[in-house]
Amino acid sequence: SAVISQKPSRDICQRGTSLTIQCQVDSQVTMMFWYRQQPGQSLTLIATANQGSEATYESGFVIDKFPISRPNLTFSTLTVSNMSPEDSSIYLCSVGDGNRGSNYGYTFGSGTRLTVV
């Protein structure tokens, strides 16, 4: 399966600032996703990062707050803009391995633990 490197692993940020999270994959993948895991909660899909076009956002998430870039098939960034304490969460990058054979699944990065103060 794909290996994902996600940076930074954690950060403490001031409210009103922005943080950009990077996701680097060791192989070309078609599908890349960004999830949010709020404290003690499950994972919620923020958006699907599309290569060469605008990301597809889920209900409740907007581009102005969570701009996403996907310049190629191995890299994506998620920016959390104008942060407030409610944005304190773990943000995870995920890729679809796309091989619907014997080892199909979605791989996740180790996450970025964001605390907004």
Partner 1 sequence: GEDVEQSLFLSVREGDSSVINCTYTDSSSTYLYWYKQEPGAGLQLLTYIFSNMDMKQDQRLTVLLNKKDKHLSLRIADTQTGDSAIYFCAETDDYKLSFGAGTTVTVRA
According to DSSP, the residues that pair with 106 across neighbouring strands are 96
Q: Which is nearer to partner 1, 75 or 108 (CB)?
A: 108
How many other CB atoms are found less than 10 A from the CB of residue 14? Answer: 8
Per CB under 8 A, the list member of 5, 22, 24, 43 interacting with partner 1 is: 43
Distances (CA, A) of 43 to 40, 53, 83, 92: 10, 24, 19, 9
Q: Which residue do the tokens 């919620």 mark?
A: 44
Rule CB under 8 A: say whether 3 interacts with partner 1.
no
Q: Which is nearer to partner 1, 11 or 81 (CB)?
A: 11
Residues making contact with partner 1 (CB under 8 A): 1, 6, 31, 33, 41-45, 48, 58, 92, 94, 96, 104-111
